[in-house]
Structure formats: structure tokens, C-alpha cells
Amino acid sequence: MAKVVVLGAGISGHTAVSYLSKSLKKDHEVVMISPNSNFQWVPSNIWVGVGLMTTDQVKFELAPVYKKMGVIHKQALAVAINPEGDLEHEKGFVTIKYVSKDKKDIEEKVTYDYLINATGPKLNFEATEGLGPQKFTESVCTYDHASHAWAKLEASLKKMEQGEPQTFLIGTGHPMATCQGAAFEYVLNIAFEINKRKLNHLADLWWITNEYELGDFGMGGAYVKRNGYITPTKIFTESILKEYGVKWIKQAGVKKVEKGVVHYETLDGKLDSKAFDFAMLIPGFSGVDMNAFDKQGNDITKIVFAANGMMKVDADYNLKPYEEWKAKDWPLIYQSSTYKNIYAAGIAFAPPHAMSKPMQSPNGTKIFPTPPRTGMPSGVIGKIVAQNIIHQIKTGKDDHPHQASMAKMGAACIVSAGYGFTKGQAAVMTVKPIVPDWETYPKWGRNIDDTVGVVGTAGHWMKLFMHYMFIYKAKAKPFWWLIPE
Ligand SMILES: Cc1cc2nc3c(=O)[nH]c(=O)nc-3n(C[C@H](O)[C@H](O)[C@H](O)COP(=O)(O)OP(=O)(O)OC[C@H]3O[C@@H](n4cnc5c(N)ncnc54)[C@H](O)[C@@H]3O)c2cc1C
């Protein structure tokens, strides 16, 4: 009997565990370790952040679902990995921590034959002084953050209804933050809500970003087919912001936040600040705090994980000039570069390099977005990692028939810009591949037939449909596996 342990019940880990349990539960053991008792459909947190969905609409309890799936569920935080075991344990194990029912701090070692690290990002608010819901800015990265953001936003909207002007600042809260898409979606939804209440004359709406040009989105921008023309995402994004009355500050690395004011440096080395009444700024992402030890107990964290705390996998991490980066540097199977029975899925794997050109100010501040790993690739990676483990357990072979390079697969990003069956809109962007490949596609960097941008009501319906469809799938309801990632 083999034992597969998955860390993190997010989009990637939950997808992996669903496929593992479907194929292995009769004869093998599947264990999920995750600190939150709920699954959350993160993309819909945007709607929680503008008061259009409740937190209950974007989350559900995991325990009954894992009971149905036959998955052993431990609500705990993984803090260390011993891939070689130790003097007491022959096998690799994970050290987990949780608080027992009688309120005692428990530490437990969970052994495994295969381990999937799908712990997602650490929301690194500490990397920017004054950032985050505990300090002076809001976030929509979790449902709790989004609900906090809505309470603050609602207060601002009420002030406007009483005639008081408000400044809104939305974007990235660290010089190397990613996830521009989520912040972009949020600013458009705020603009829509302000417009709906006919308060535009009192609103000063700003987008602040570390991108060199708008529409970079951490993927080096893209050329998209739009209404029969090829348009750079810079134009696509700028025109949408203009239409929604949003002004922008670009090439900006936010370094510090104080009550009502953000301090930032721009790529030309200038220091500036922007006052706000409401700010939602995405923090920098790093890997979660997990250490690794060898059999003798020596700390091997720096071997197993990259400097940003994300796990090193089958990618080319050799340092080389930007011009020499290749699509094939990106991983295919997400197997740990050091231990063959460990995999890192979703945001937990360390990307080999940025997709956007690295930029630095004259003061030495790096200001550019790190690569995004959106929901679709995170789900697909979770699935193929599970499929390869299932294959290895069932055949006894150690090959990997399933691959999912981000330099080959496509992704769709739907940025809602308002809500409602007839009034909702969305900007839909598909790119293929996600990582630009200038060797295969010398003209546009991507397959231009599959790289498309459109704005309209249909996209909004699609986003809403996806909300219900993916929650249905995550609940493992009948025929869930027919729904693609
Ligand atoms: C507001 C917002 C909107 C977004 N909208 C979209 C969208 O429209 N489309 C899209 O494609 N993508 C979107 N994304 C991105 C998408 O949500 C991520 O790509 C996806 O959630 C990544 O999946 P993951 O499984 O790697 O990480 P996560 O979903 O973050 O899951 C990580 C899991 O690991 C758990 N964990 C953390 N630490 C530990 C530990 N030490 N031990 C055990 N478990 C741990 C966490 O509790 C969590 O359950 C959005 C992101 C945000 C923040």
C-alpha cells in the first residue's frame, strides 16, 4: 500500500487529491494536510470585496467532502520536510503542527511514499512596511481579507453618498509583486460600483503598478487578437482603464505605507507618494515557511527550496542573461530537483525566471512583476502530478507520461468588470502558451490564433458560470472529473 500526502487544499492541491482519491482510495492511502477547514474559490473573492457575494458563497467545509472522497484530512500546518526520514523514521516525513480539541499544541510526523507540496503563496505583507489588512491597506487574497475590504469600501461609498470625495488606490504593494490580474479586476469592479451609484464626480480612482507598461501582467505582456486586429495588451489594458475612469502610476515599487499614504519609488529612481482614502494593494508572494532536513538533521532548506521559499523542481535554474531565457527552461513534471518522490504543484514551485524583463532603478531597487501562476495552470499541474503518481503506483515504473509545461499550455483569464445578468461585463484574455516562446512563435511570441482579447457581457456570464462549475467540481459532485481544470 502506498501513502500519498498532499500539503495545501487550494486549487492545485485539492485538484490533485481529488484525482488521487478517485484512482487510489480502494488500495492506498491519500492524506490532505491543510490549515484551513474550508476550501475557497479564490477568484470570486473579488465579488466578496465589492459586497456582491458573501464569504459563504465562495467557500465550503472540506471535512464532509474528504470523508466522501475517502481522503484522510488533517487540519494542520506543515512546518518541515525530512525527505530522507531521520534516525527514527526510515521513510520521508512531514512535520505538522495543530491545536488539539483540548487546546494543546500538537506536533506530529506524517510519513509518506509520495509528497505533493501545493502550499501556494505566503502573502508576504511584512516585506512592505505598513501593508495589509492588519495595517493600512486592504487585500482580496482570501475571503476574510475580501470581506474586510468590503467593509472599508462600503464606508468610503457611504462617505461619497454624503458628498465627501474619496481617492481609491488599487494595484501592487511590493516592487516585485505579481497577481496584477486580480487587482485589475478589483479596480474595474470598484469603478462599476461607483458608476452604479452615480458617484463618479466624487471618485478619484488610481491604478498603481510595478509593470513597465500596463498589460504586462507578469507575463511580459502579449499581443492579442481583438476584433480582427492584433493589439498589444498595453493598449487593451489602457483603453479599459480609460473607459472606467481610472488613472495610473506605472513602474512603481511600493516601499512603505502609512495611514492614508503610499510611498513608492519609480524606475527612474524618483521617490514619490500618493494619498488615499481606500487602498487595496497585492503583497509580494514567497513560498510558505517550511524547512527541510536530511537524515542527520542538517538543514537542507536552501537545497530543496529557492531563495524565494518556493520549491525547486525540474526547471533550468542556471543564472543567465534575459536574452538567453528559453521556454524550455520551464518545468514539465514538477518533480523536486533533489528528491524523486516529492513534487511541487501550483504556486508552490519555483519558476526558473521572470517572464517580464527584469528592471532596476538607479538606486538598485528591482521593480518588475514576478511570474503569475493563475488558477487554470495551478489546477492542470495538480492534475498531472496526481496522474503521474497514480501511474507510478499502479505500474511500478518511475516515468512521467503526463506533462504540463507553462511554456506549452494556454490559460484563460476572465477579468469581470461589473456584475449582473445584463449589466455585468468582463474582459476575457486567452494566451497560449503562458510563457512567451520567441523561438516557436518569432512574430508574436505566442500562437496568435489562440491569444485573444474581448470585452463583453458574455465574458461575465462565463465567469459567473465558472464560479458555480468549479465549486461543483471541488465538492466532488457526480461526474466532477468531466469538468476541465
Ligand atoms: C483575488 C484573486 C483573484 C484571482 N482570480 C483569478 C482568476 O480569475 N482566474 C485565475 O485563473 N486565477 C485567479 N487567481 C489566481 C488563483 O487564485 C491562484 O492561481 C490559485 O489559487 C493558486 O493555487 P494554489 O493551489 O497554488 O494555491 P492556493 O489556492 O493559495 O492554495 C494553497 C493552499 O495551501 C494551504 N497552505 C498554506 N500553507 C500551508 C502549510 N504550511 N501547510 C499546509 N498547507 C498550507 C493554504 O491554506 C491553501 O489552502 C486569483 C487570485 C487572487 C488572489
Output the residue whose Cα is nearest ligand 1's atom 39: 119
Q: What is the pLDDT of residue 323?
A: 92
Cell 469600501 identifies what position?
153
- What average pLDDT does this structure show over 19-42? 96
Looking at the predicted structure, is the pLDDT value of residue 421 above 80? no
Give the number of the atom of ligand 1 that is nearest the alpha carbon of residue 12.
25
pLDDT level of residue 453 (50, 70, 90 thresholds): confident
Where are any strands of DSSP class E within 103-186? 105-111, 114-117, 122-124, 166-172
Does residue 7 have its Cβ closer than 6 Å to ligand 1?
A: yes
Among 247-251, 462-466, 476-480, the range of highest mean pLDDT: 247-251
Looking at the predicted structure, is the pLDDT value of residue 460 above 80? no
Q: State which of 119, 148, 311 you would mutate to test the pocket of ligand 1, scoring each by most atoms of that ligand within 8 A of its C-beta.
A: 119
Cell 537542507 identifies what position?
300
pTM of the complete model: 0.96
Q: What is the pLDDT of residue 26?
A: 87
The DSSP 8-state label assigned to residue 222 in this structure reads -
Q: What is the pLDDT of residue 416?
A: 79
- What average pLDDT does this structure show over 449-466? 81
Q: Centre a 10 Å sphere on the Cβ of residue 364 and count the other Cβ atoms it contains.
A: 7
Mean model confidence pLDDT for the chain: 95
Q: What is the pLDDT of residue 215?
A: 95
Output the residue whose Cα is nearest ligand 1's atom 3: 43
CA of 363 to the centre of ligand 1 (A): 33
- What average pLDDT does this structure show over 386-414? 94
CA distances from 34 to 67, 98, 129, 289 (A): 15, 10, 28, 14
List pLDDT tens digits, range 16-28: 999 999 999 889 9
Output the residue whose Cα is nearest ligand 1's atom 53: 141
- What average pLDDT does this structure show over 241-267? 97
List pLDDT tens digits, range 157-185: 999 999 999 999 999 999 999 999 999 99
Q: CA 106 to CA 357: how far, in whole Å?
A: 45
Looking at the predicted structure, is the pLDDT value of residue 424 above 80? no
Percent of the chain topping pLDDT 90: 88
Q: What is the pLDDT of residue 143?
A: 98
Looking at the predicted structure, is the pLDDT value of residue 308 above 90? yes
Q: Centre a 10 Å sphere on the Cβ of residue 447 and count the other Cβ atoms it contains.
A: 14
Q: What is the pLDDT of residue 452?
A: 80
Q: 168 by DSSP, 3-state: which?
A: strand
pLDDT level of residue 383 (50, 70, 90 thresholds): very high
Q: CA 428 to CA 223: how far, in whole Å?
A: 14
CA of 141 to the centre of ligand 1 (A): 8
Closest to 355 in 3D by CA, of 167, 180, 121: 180
Looking at the predicted structure, is the pLDDT value of residue 423 above 80? no
Does residue 347 have its Cβ closer than 6 Å to ligand 1?
A: yes
- What average pLDDT does this structure show over 418-432? 77
Does residue 170 have its Cβ closer than 6 Å to ligand 1?
A: no
User: Rounded to the nearest 5°, which phi and psi values hold at 141?
Assistant: -75, -20
Q: What is the pLDDT of residue 428?
A: 81
List pLDDT tens digits, range 186-232: 999 999 999 999 999 999 999 999 999 999 999 999 998 877 889 89
Looking at the predicted structure, is the pLDDT value of residue 324 above 80? yes
Specify the CATH architecture of the domain 3-122+286-395: 3-Layer(bba) Sandwich (3.50)
Q: What is the pLDDT of residue 161?
A: 97
CA of 347 to the centre of ligand 1 (A): 7
Looking at the predicted structure, is the pLDDT value of residue 346 above 90? yes
pLDDT level of residue 484 (50, 70, 90 thresholds): confident
Helix (H) or strand (E) holding 304: helix 301-304
Give the number of the atom of ligand 1 that is nearest the alpha carbon of residue 382.
25
Output the residue whose Cα is nearest ligand 1's atom 11: 375
Read off the C-alpha cell for 301: 532548506
Instruction: Calculate the CA 465 to chain-centre distance.
Output: 20
Q: What is the pLDDT of residue 485?
A: 85
**HSE on the CB side for 378, CA within 13 Å?**
25
The full set of domain ranges for the chain reads 3-122+286-395
Looking at the predicted structure, is the pLDDT value of residue 411 above 90? no
Looking at the predicted structure, is the pLDDT value of residue 358 above 90? yes
Closest to 209 in 3D by CA, of 243, 232, 186: 186
Give the number of the atom of ligand 1 that is nearest the alpha carbon of residue 414.
8
CA of 42 to the centre of ligand 1 (A): 6
Looking at the predicted structure, is the pLDDT value of residue 420 above 80? no
Q: What is the pLDDT of residue 97?
A: 98
Does residue 346 have its Cβ closer than 6 Å to ligand 1?
A: yes
Q: CA 305 to CA 291: how far, in whole Å?
A: 8
CA distances from 185 to 47, 169, 293, 392 (A): 10, 13, 41, 41
CA of 166 to the centre of ligand 1 (A): 31
Q: What is the pLDDT of residue 69?
A: 96
Looking at the predicted structure, is the pLDDT value of residue 7 above 90? yes
- What average pLDDT does this structure show over 111-131? 98
Read off the C-alpha cell for 134: 492588519
Burial (Cβ within 10 Å: 0-12, 13-18, ≥19) of residue 395: exposed
CA of 370 to the centre of ligand 1 (A): 16
- Angle between the 180-196 and 143-161 helix axes, to the nearest 10 degrees? 30
Output the residue whose Cα is nearest ligand 1's atom 6: 43
Q: State which of 6, 11, 189, 381 you would mutate to test the pocket of ligand 1, scoring each by most atoms of that ligand within 8 A of its C-beta.
A: 11
Backbone φ/ψ region at 411: left (φ over 0), alpha (ψ -120 to 50), beta: beta
Looking at the predicted structure, is the pLDDT value of residue 468 above 80? yes
The answer to whether 31 and 51 have CB atoms below 8 angstroms apart is no
Q: What is the pLDDT of residue 456?
A: 74
Looking at the predicted structure, is the pLDDT value of residue 289 above 90? yes
Read off the C-alpha cell for 259: 495611514
Read off the C-alpha cell for 85: 526520514
